[in-house]
Amino acid sequence: MARKVTKAIFPVAGLGTRFLPATKSVPKEIMTLVDRPLVQYAIDEARAAGITEFIFVTSRGKSALEDYFDHNQILEQSLKEKGKDELLKTLNATNMESGAIAYIRQHKALGLGHAVWCARRLIGDEPFAVMLPDDVIAAEKPCLQQMIEAYEETGGNMVATMEVPPEKTSSYGVLDVGDNIGTAVRARGMVEKPKPEEAPSNLAVIGRYILRPSVLYNLNQNKLGSGGEIQLTDAIAEDIRNGVPVFGYKFDGQRFDCGSKAGFLQATVAFALARDDLREDLQEYLHDVIVTGQAAQ
Ligand code: UTP
């Protein structure tokens, strides 16, 4: 049986240039879908999957992210005094246990693979998850939990995959697909950002991974890949060449690319419509905008 996965790496050291000027001072991961920062969705998903150690790979200008996970004593005290128990519960659910969270700096934005490699000493010799908070997945059973359950059967490395329109392959890592085994496919290879005419399939890798430490050894070589960056995809592809099984897991759920403005807006609408306190007003507003072309007053 595969070894239990208890550690997750959250690479959040990217520059977030698609959200400038906001990301000049606000880390992308702190931007909110309705009233919760992107990173909170990722943490909740990780917890549901049994993760107990949370490793953030950060960079200059991300201190708001570290502050977010601290207890805010003054705010807690004030809510307590005013008897605002519901808000206090919401706030307490965001607190992290002392020692459960670690931060490590990526000193240069050399790519996702490099960011993951920066956490190698905290991982040691055990399997680990990688979660990109930009990818928010709405699912009945959280995506990472689905993957861990599948991984317990398969072992090896596992990446979350979904079909994308063929013209979009150049935005993703793409699988060369081998055997189909239920909800997963065995990968024969992986390519980062292939042009549509060169893509081996339209099965794209999105931001959830369960990886063996061998991927970290592959990253040790610090080889530059697509875009002059050190790519995680290349290190996983090397494992395939070394005979380690790699599976693409076709998760159940809807993925929003919150690293892009369009995806972020779609997620905002979807998550707001899922909320009892917001649904009706928003539906009315959207209806007015669509039908009459005018915003409700
Ligand atoms: P993106 O490709 O979305 O890059 O990174 P980005 O810098 O966050 O955003 P844009 O493209 O400039 O708008 C995917 C994930 O990999 C992390 C990012 O923080 C994000 O979670 N990453 C990327 C790093 O941690 N380090 C890097 O050097 C590059």
Segment 247-274, tens digit of pLDDT: 999 999 999 999 999 999 999 999 999 9
Structural domain contains residue 1: no
- Give yes or no for residue 175 CB within 6 A of ligand 1: no
| Mean pLDDT, rounded, for 223-235 | 87
In tens, the pLDDT along 142-180 reads: 999 999 999 999 999 999 999 999 999 999 999 999 878
CATH number, position 86:
3.90.550.10
- Give yes or no for residue 57 CB within 6 A of ligand 1: yes
Pairing verdict, β 101-105 and 246-250:
unpaired
Structural domain contains residue 139: yes
Residue 187 Cα distances to 43, 161, 171, 184, 213, angstroms: 28, 11, 19, 9, 18
Residue 104 confidence (pLDDT) = 96
Q: Do 283 and 226 lie in a common domain? A: no
Higher pLDDT, 126 or 97: 126
Domain that holds residue 236: 7-259
Q: Which atom of ligand 1 is nearest to the CA of 11?
A: 25
Residue 178 confidence (pLDDT) = 83
Q: Do 106 and 171 lie in a common domain? A: yes
- Give yes or no for residue 109 CB within 6 A of ligand 1: yes
What percentage of the chain reaches a pLDDT higher than 70?
98
Q: Do 167 and 242 lie in a common domain? A: yes
Task: Determine the distance separating the centroid of ligand 1 and the alpha carbon of 134, expressed in angstroms.
Answer: 9
Enter the tokens of residue 161.
Answer: 């995959």
Q: Do 128 and 270 lie in a common domain? A: no
- Give yes or no for residue 12 CB within 6 A of ligand 1: yes
- Give yes or no for residue 27 CB within 6 A of ligand 1: no
CA distance linking residue 163 with residue 254, whole number of Å:
12
Structural domain contains residue 2: no
Residue 61 confidence (pLDDT) = 85
Q: Which atom of ligand 1 is nearest to the CA of 57?
A: 25
Task: Determine the distance separating the centroid of ligand 1 and the alpha carbon of 12, expressed in angstroms.
Answer: 7
Residue 295 confidence (pLDDT) = 64
| Mean pLDDT, rounded, for 77-88 | 91
Q: Do 181 and 269 lie in a common domain? A: no
Residue 70 confidence (pLDDT) = 85
Q: What is the mean pLDDT of the chain?
A: 92
Does this model's pTM top 0.85?
yes
Task: Determine the distance separating the centroid of ligand 1 and the alpha carbon of 57, expressed in angstroms.
Answer: 11
- Give yes or no for residue 104 CB within 6 A of ligand 1: no
| Mean pLDDT, rounded, for 136-141 | 96
CA distance linking residue 144 with residue 37, whole number of Å:
19
- Give yes or no for residue 193 CB within 6 A of ligand 1: no
Task: Determine the distance separating the centroid of ligand 1 and the alpha carbon of 29, expressed in angstroms.
Answer: 11
| Mean pLDDT, rounded, for 14-28 | 92
Q: Do 203 and 65 lie in a common domain? A: yes
Q: Do 69 and 175 lie in a common domain? A: yes
pLDDT at 201 over 60: yes
CA distance linking residue 11 with residue 28, whole number of Å:
12
pLDDT at 3 over 70: yes
- Give yes or no for residue 115 CB within 6 A of ligand 1: yes
Structural domain contains residue 217: yes
Q: Do 268 and 123 lie in a common domain? A: no
pLDDT at 297 over 60: no
Q: What is the tally of structural domains in the chain?
A: 2
Task: Determine the distance separating the centroid of ligand 1 and the alpha carbon of 152, expressed in angstroms.
Answer: 29
Residue 117 confidence (pLDDT) = 96
Q: Do 86 and 146 lie in a common domain? A: yes
* Bridge partners, 207 (sequence order): none
Task: Determine the distance separating the centroid of ligand 1 and the alpha carbon of 49, expressed in angstroms.
Answer: 24
Residue 181 confidence (pLDDT) = 82
Q: Do 233 and 288 lie in a common domain? A: no
Residue 1 confidence (pLDDT) = 61
- Span of 4-8, 120-124, 290-294 with lowest mean pLDDT: 290-294
Pairing verdict, β 203-211 and 173-181:
antiparallel
In tens, the pLDDT along 208-221 reads: 999 999 999 999 87
pLDDT at 41 over 70: yes
Q: Do 162 and 283 lie in a common domain? A: no
